[in-house]
Amino acid sequence: MNQTIKTIIVEDSRLARNELRELIKQHPEIEVIAEAENADQGYELIKKLVPQLIFLDINMPGKDGFQLLEMLDEVPMVVFTTAFDEYAIRSFEYNALDYLLKPINDKRFADAVEKVKAKLQVLQSPQGLLTEQSQIFIKEGEKCWLVRVADIQLCEIVGNYTRVYFNGNRPLIYKSLNQVEERLPQHLFFRANRQQIINLQFIKSVENALNGKLAAIMQNGMEVEISRRQSVLFKDMLSL
């Protein structure tokens, strides 16, 4: 990888920031362009500098790392850094690439960097993306389908797997929703919330919901809540 990965560290502890910088020195492909001591400062820097990656502490004074991500319209790649392991499951609901427990050793950090580089390669490589007319093979138990991407109505998280809805079928596939999202054409599929991706062509109607959220009524009768942050993006995308 010739280009550096522009990165912001969001961490309230000066010692932890120093330790991260030392780890990053071993990976010249990572370029730290700014550091923040809290979520509000991190928000301003991310909006201004648009990094590709953030190393993000969870427990910080004031707003925590999760609240920072909720504030952002465009979320960069995220690697969480924390001293607490109880947030691990929740962190992956926020599309985190990795979850590093402090103190972070060289090997774990190197593994995280490899995940970042792999994700970036997928994002930058058109070969990894499917088109509307692409066909994908899905197998569940003894049943098999060859499904056109444009016919997929909805994808949603079920544990560590993804349920795919198409033509009255809803099999589970052994990939995370994040992995599925990486390959779907972005003009057709929209991340409604942390659990679900919807095909815009299969929305029957849209209704107002509570707290500034929207609800998409799908052609198959399902109602999908669009999170507050994604509702703003949804309106922008589909407005004249």
20 or 126: which carries more pLDDT confidence? 20
Q: Sign (positive/negative) of CA torsion 52, 57, 58, 59?
A: negative
Residue 240: what pLDDT? Answer: 59
Q: Percentage helix, strand, coil, to 5, in the chain?
A: 35, 30, 30
- What is the dotted CATH code of the domain comprising 135-238? 2.40.50.1020
The closest alpha carbon to 56, from 82, 85, 88, belongs to 82
Q: Of the spans 82-86, 100-104, 180-184, which averages the highest pLDDT?
A: 100-104
Long-range interactions of 165-168: CB distance < 8 A, separation 24+: 165/220, 165/222, 168/220
Q: What is the CATH number of domain 5-124?
A: 3.40.50.2300
* Residue 202 half-sphere exposure toward CB, CA atoms < 13 A: 24
Could you tell me the pLDDT band of residue 176, with boundaries at 50, 70 and 90? Answer: confident
Residues 6+ apart with CB under 8 A from 231: 212, 213, 214
Question: What pLDDT was estimated at residue 45?
Answer: 97
- Residue percentage of the chain with pLDDT more than 70: 96
Q: How far is the CA of 223 from the CAs of 117, 128, 155, in angstroms? A: 36, 30, 13
Q: How many angstroms separate the first and last alpha carbons of the chain?
A: 39
pLDDT in the model for residue 92: 73
Q: CB-based contacts of 239: which residues, under 8 Å, 6+ apart? A: none
The CATH 2.40.50.1020 portion of the chain extends over: 135-238
Q: Which of 93, 112, 224 is nearest to 159 (CA)?
A: 93
Stronger pLDDT, 90 or 152, i.e. the higher one = 152
Task: Name the nearest CA neighbour of 78 among 115, 111, 47.
Answer: 115
Q: Which of 159, 163, 8, 146 is nearest to 77 (CA)?
A: 8
Q: Evaluate if residue 89 carries a pLDDT over 80.
A: no
Rounded Cα distance between 150 and 161, Å, is 21
**Residues facing 140 on adjacent strands:** 143
Over 60: is that where the pLDDT of 1 sits? Answer: no
pLDDT at 153 over 90: yes
User: Partners of 135 in the beta sheet?
Assistant: 148
8 Å CB contact between 82 and 102: yes
Total-model pTM: 0.59
Average pLDDT, the chain: 90
Q: Is 150 helix (H, G, I), strand (E, B) or coil?
A: helix
- For residue 131, the one-letter residue type is T
- Using DSSP's 3-state secondary structure scheme, residue 60 falls into coil
Question: Where in the chain do CATH 3.40.50.2300 domains reside?
Answer: 5-124
pLDDT for 5:
95
Residue 206: per-residue pLDDT: 94
